Structure 1
Amino acid sequence: MERLFFLLSGAYGFLGVALGAFGAHGLKSRLGGLPDGAQRMEWWLTGSQYHLIHALALALAAHLAARTGSTAATVAGFCFAGGVLFFSGSLYVMTLTGTRALGAITPFGGLLLLAGWASVIVAALGLAKG
């Protein structure tokens, strides 16, 4: 799992920076004239912020998986990976399409991210005190 989570961390980090830059430079002019343009930019910024943070969280899960071999570390990695897809992904799609109904998916991604952090705590509890 270590290799998979490090690969996902790198890919998510790369995409997070690219999508953040696209939002800052490409979307601002496209959404500026829309009545809900400011709201949609906020969705994009929130999505890219959580995306980047959890790209690093995937690296943390990879490190814990290698160090502890715990199931909790593996669960954390998959929760972070899925959480970014559902949370940030739904915000990106909402921004691009204006389809607010997709906001129903966003909380599921948020729950996965929370479950990932809870799993990090469980994995950390398994580390030897030293």
Structure 2
Amino acid sequence: MNEIALIFGSVFGLLSVIFGAFGAHLLKKKLTTEQLQSFETGVKYQMYHAIVLLVLGFQLNNESTNNYIVNAFIIGIILFSFSIYGLVISSASNKKIKILGPITPLGGLFLIIGWFLLIYKFIN
């Protein structure tokens, strides 16, 4: 069992429900449709990968390859989803934090690396 994956998966799952409700109820009045869709994309990806972390946490031990997989997903969620949240909220207040723009694809890259490492583990 990988406790780090279980802890982060649980925290990310919890936060995605909170952020989803926040977006649906409070931000809906302040965001454009496009901004709200971007925010929802961050929430969806966060929840999808939180579930993956929970499954991995119950299935994987603490081998180095497994830790790389878990770490790639954790870093990917933080960089991808949280940069989207920051971009959307900052642009809604007309104070867009431009440095977050390049961080989102970097987070996506870490998510891709996590999936690639998972495939690698399955075929070896």
Q: TM-score range by the shorter chain?
A: 0.7 to 0.9
Kindly provide the amino acid, as one letter, of the partner of residue 113 in structure 2.
A
Q: Which amino acid aligns with 2:120?
A: V
- Quick one: which of 105, 108, 111 aligns to 1:110? 108
Q: Does structure 1 residue 56 correspond to structure 2 residue 51?
A: yes
Describe the shift of the 1:4–1:72 C-alpha distance in structure 2 as closer, same or farther (beyond 3 A): same
- Residues 30-74 of structure 1: CA distance to partner in whole angstroms, max 9, x if unpaired? 22xxxxx222111101100000000011123323422xx542221
Q: Distance in 2 between matches of 1:92 and 1:43?
A: 8
The unaligned stretches of length 5 or more in structure 2 are none
Cα deviation code 1:10-29 (max 9, x no counterpart)? 11100011101111111001
Q: Deviations over 1:61-94 (max 9, x none)?
A: 323422xx54222111101100010000000001
Q: Deviations over 1:70-125 (max 9, x none)?
A: 42221111011000100000000011101262221100000000000111112223
Partner of 1:41: 36
- Residues in 1 aligned to 2:29 and 2:109: alpha-carbon distance in whole angstroms: 32
Q: For structure 1, which segment, 52-61 or 96-105, has the greater mean C-alpha deviation from structure 2 after superposition?
A: 96-105
Task: Give 5+ residue unaligned stretches, structure 1.
Answer: 32-36
Task: Count residues with an aligned counterpart.
Answer: 119
| CA RMSD across the alignment | 1.6
Q: Percent identity?
A: 31
Select which of 73, 80, 84 maps to 1:91: 84
The separation in 1 between residues aligned to 2:66 and 2:54, in whole angstroms, is 11
Contact 2:86 2:97 in 1 (8 A): no
Match of 1:122 among 117, 120, 123: 120
Q: Determine the C-alpha separation between the residues in 2 that align with 1:63 and 1:73.
A: 12
Q: Which whole-Å CA distance do the structure 2 matches of 1:9 and 1:27 have between them?
A: 25
Question: Taking structure 1 as the reference length, what is the TM-score of the superposition?
Answer: 0.84
Aligned to 2:66: 73
